[in-house]
Chain A
């Protein structure tokens, strides 16, 4: 493992009954980069995220984050270690305000013990400042008092990302942030992801090839649970296996 590796998976495997959703996946994500995972629907990308984040237990293999093994850690441990994710299907707190959604995620990282809860939520000015900064970052500041469930789909996707950013992660896992977005909202979300490049190490699942090719440092291509190719965007574009398994299959 090289020194600047932030996340490494080693032979990660996951069986759902007879179905092997993820098969011996070994990834090496370097700090400060944007690393994408692409592949057809059902190729195991989301499951890979679930394995990394402790939502699903691997059948075999290990996960190392910043050199430390985190295989099988509970999902609620990971934000404290510096790893946060957003979900493919928007997964926020519908009846809380946009502000509270982000506030809850910021506060989680600095739980002040039971005594801290003697204070009112509004009295934590540092949490408040961080939450407002994140909301401004994703362009939701004007809607911070709205209930999350009243947002448009595009805004909910932005909130989904905001909740992950609120953990101040050192590695950000984004699962198809542009999923289901209209064209102009896709442009908006792509800009948002681009604005995060360099500030965060990002592991991105994305379907839209044009976006992936333009913003990724490295790309891993999955098919049927396996990584069939890995490299820079150019290398992946020229790879015959990829063209057959992924691009070809969609034409």
Chain B
């Protein structure tokens, strides 16, 4: 089991290394940034069972925070990254506390409502955010630790920084879902009533999941703010929230690798196809319908199905999933 995990991680690193040579480095960076945000949503949606339609709230808040800190204070890179992550987490703690009081559709609408509220604040408060025009003139500080200072001016170098951030975020997320929290979150997703009956304060754990996700999303927002030297108003809009939901669904919910696949598919499609066919979102719509109807596990499930067909023999269980023991064991439990 441990070896399988290691092989997977090596493959992941390999994929991240070759990515900027398969697509433009700028697109590669976007893929990694949105993969972090999608990973965060996956924690609350795929693992804990709460669909948030307002993740742009934390993405955008952190992006504006980072942009303002860099424009006005010339704040260094790592300080900005830490601040944005903190802002994402604190905002998610405040907003999440209200949202988790409700479940299902009402939860979704609350996350959406807060997103809209903050969008309009960003839209109207032009003195600070630039409103519709976005917040321009954001520098990209060098990566500096002690005497070491690496310029991130080229898009490939910036990708390097984003890629390392992604891998660190991935590892942190893996440790979270491998920890007791992972079991607790999934137990709450499966049956919140029983999770309470065995002794878990369900609201508190939902709140925790939401807050952790907000922090990750905030980190992604900071990385995004330095991409194009501008924080567009769109970064806090429901469109980004929707894109993130989309990536998680396409990639495969409840699986650690799904969000990366989803983000890659989404950004690659929008990059490769939008130049030849401007109605490319139509393809995304079709893909979403197909996934929901036929392939609930998204690209991850498609991948395992193809692998099983290529490898021959019947479908094999996912290594992550509990393996079903054949029913021979049943007779043992009986007299």
Contacts and interface: CB of A to CB of B under 8 A. Distances in A.
Contacts of B239: none
A94 B191 contact: yes
Contact of A146 (B180, B198, B325): B325
A64 interface: no
Nearest to A85: B197
Contacts of A118: 175, 179
Contact of A76 (B191, B196, B321): B196
Given A79-B199, A142-B332, A107 B183 contact: yes
Give the most central of B176, B322, B334: most A CB within 10 Å: B322
Contact of B198 (A98, A121, A124, A163): A163
B2 to A, nearest CB: 10
Nearest to A187: B335
Contact of A121 (B178, B191, B193, B194): B178
Interface in A152-172: 152, 155, 158, 163, 166-167
A121 B175 CA distance: 10
B322 A105 contact: no
B197 to A, nearest CB: 5
Given A103-B183, A166-B198, A91 B323 contact: no
Contact of B324 (A101, A103, A105, A150): A150
Interface in B174-191: 175-176, 178-184, 186-187, 190-191
Given A121-B178, A147-B322, A96 B200 contact: no
Contacts of A96: 183, 186-187, 190, 322
B335 A188 contact: yes
B318 to A, nearest CB: 11
B132 interface: no
A104 B333 contact: no
A116 interface: yes
B172 to A, nearest CB: 11
A94 B187 CA distance: 9
A120 B202 contact: no
A180 B201 CA distance: 31
Nearest to A160: B194
Contact of A109 (B181, B199, B321): B199
Contacts of A22: none
Contacts of A150: 324
A68 interface: no
B interface SS class: helix
A84 B198 contact: yes
Nearest to B178: A120
A63 B190 CA distance: 30
A146 B191 contact: no
B330 interface: yes
Contacts of B179: 117-121
A172 B199 CA distance: 14
28 contacts: A53-B197, A55-B197, A74-B201, A76-B199, A79-B199, A80-B199, A91-B197, A93-B195, A94-B191, A96-B186, A96-B187, A98-B322, A99-B322, A100-B186, A104-B183, A104-B195, A104-B198, A108-B199, A116-B180, A117-B179, A117-B180, A118-B175, A120-B178, A139-B332, A139-B333, A143-B333, A145-B322, A188-B333
Given A79-B197, A124-B180, A150-B324, 15 more contacts: A77-B199, A91-B193, A93-B190, A93-B191, A97-B322, A107-B184, A118-B179, A120-B178, A120-B179, A142-B333, A146-B324, A158-B333, A166-B198, A167-B199, A185-B334
Interface of B: 175-176, 178-184, 186-187, 190-191, 193-202, 321-325, 329-330, 332-335
Closest 10 CB pairs of A and B: A97-B322, A108-B199, A79-B199, A142-B329, A93-B190, A105-B198, A76-B196, A139-B333, A117-B179, A104-B187
Interface of A: 53, 55, 74-80, 84-85, 87, 91-101, 103-105, 107-109, 112, 116-122, 124, 139-140, 142-143, 145-147, 150, 152, 155, 158, 163, 166-167, 184-185, 187-188
